[in-house]
Amino acid sequence: MEIFWDNFFSGESIMKFDNGGQDSTLISGIIVASIIGIIAIMFDIFVTFSLGSGVTAFIIGAIIVNENKNLEVGGRWIIRNLLPLTIILLGFGLNLSIFFETSLGKFGIIIGIISAIACLTTSYFLGKIWDLETSTSLALGSGGAICGNSAVVAASKPLRLDEETMAVILAVINILGVLTFLLIPILSLYWGFSEIEAGIWAGSTIHAVPQAVSAGEIIGEDAMIMATTVKLSRVALLVLLIPIFTIIGNKISNEENYSNEKVNIPFFVPGFVLASVISTWFLPELITDFLVNISKFLLVIIMASIGFFINRSGIRDFGSKLMIIGLISSLIMIIVSFFMISWF
């Protein structure tokens, strides 16, 4: 049994095929990523303090791949084949009716959207200054501006990011996400914000949805409600960004290949938009919850697969520049949101 697991995690043949073991290596990577996903989800359920199942899966994947580079074959298959489906299913988690919230909720949503735009544009222009590829700076900016890991993963396909770049971006976004999660409740208390104000600040600046909701919960019930409302308004911006990123990704691809082909819209783009519309106005909550849970499970497996592509040289050579850009973009988002809350 011990020999079996040693061979399994090292990418050796589980079953023999005629093509030199390539199929077995593929299957090994898929199964290992799936097992990591299940472990990460269980860890998130039963452990009191957790960074989230996606982050946990990403870290485990990055650790395991150091012992076995063959896992990348299965990881690449998961990313390229399951990612489009996952993007569509993520659309069922969006509630577009949030844009029609009234009074204070609408005020918070406006702050959240303006802050998100500030973060994304800052990342884009800093990327230009530091000679970063447009697709990379936009994916990095979307992670901070929209919803952390989910936004980066959703943006990666239309922007045509390679797996290694995606892995480094996710590493940076997760570090910055934890920092904002820890700092915003403390700074809200320091500046004497009310629960409503603190909730707006948390919802408009913290990267991931669970982190924004948890930060609001730490502050108080009103803060949690407001943080959730504002944060989900940022998430809903994906409906606009995914088609835009698709056009940008196609344009970049044509320029690199000296081609003037027509822009092709991948099936997952209208699928994502249609899913968000259907879930908002036509599907019962029971069905949308089921579809969202499937998307979350697939996303965790994808996060494990992306972890397979983390390498130290990539982080050393590429990560420091991304960290600086991500940090500055996040600070701009925090400052813009802070002054809007203070002034209005």
Full 3-state SS string of 236-298: CCHHHHHHHHHHHHHHHHHHHCCCCCCCCCCCHHHHHHHHHHHHHHCCCHHHHHHHHHHHHHH
Q: Residue written as tokens 């089921």?
A: 290
Among the ranges given (12-21, 24-33, 238-247), the one the predictor scored with the smallest mean pLDDT = 12-21
**Per-residue pLDDT, 89:** 86
The residues, any chain, with a CB within 8 Å of residue 6's CB and separated by 6 or more, are none
For the stretch 215-260, pLDDT in tens is 887 888 788 878 888 887 888 888 888 888 888 888 876 665 544 5
Q: Residue written as tokens 């040693």?
A: 6
Q: Residue written as tokens 């501006």?
A: 145
For the cut 70, the answer to whether the pLDDT of residue 59 exceeds it is yes
| CA 207 to each of CA 34, 93, 184: distance values in angstroms, whole numbers, following the listed order | 25, 17, 11
How many angstroms separate the first and last alpha carbons of the chain?
A: 65
For the cut 60, the answer to whether the pLDDT of residue 21 exceeds it is no
Burial class from Cβ neighbours inside 10 Å (0-12, 13-18, 19+) for residue 339 reads exposed
CA nearest 340: which of 169, 135, 203, 222? 203
**Per-residue pLDDT, 209:** 78
Give one word for 343, left, alpha or beta, with left for phi > 0 and alpha for psi -120 to 50: alpha
What are the residue ranges spanned by the domains of the chain?
A: 80-343
CA distance 63 to 191: 40
**Per-residue pLDDT, 262:** 52
**Per-residue pLDDT, 3:** 39
CA distance 122 to 284: 39
Q: Residue written as tokens 């980066």?
A: 152
Q: What is the mean pLDDT of the chain?
A: 80
pTM of the model: 0.75
Q: In percent, how much of the chain has pLDDT > 90?
A: 17
For the stretch 252-295, pLDDT in tens is 766 655 445 554 566 777 888 888 888 888 888 889 889 988 98
CA distance 173 to 334: 15
Residue 233: both structure tokens together: 């308004």
- Alpha carbon 251 to its chain centroid, in Å, reads 23
Q: How many CA atoms lie within 13 A of 205 on its CB side?
A: 34
Number of H helices, E strands in the chain: 16, 0
Backbone CA torsion sign across 42, 43, 46, 50: negative
For the stretch 148-173, pLDDT in tens is 888 888 888 888 888 888 888 988 98
CA distance 333 to 313: 30
Helix ranges restricted to H, 68-133: 71-91, 103-129
In terms of pLDDT, which residue wins out, 304 or 265? 304
CA nearest 56: which of 194, 174, 196? 174
Contact 212, 183 (CB under 8 A): no
CA distance 323 to 236: 25
- CA 28-30-36 angle, to 5 degrees, is 100
Secondary structure class of 65 (helix, strand, coil):
helix
**Per-residue pLDDT, 38:** 93
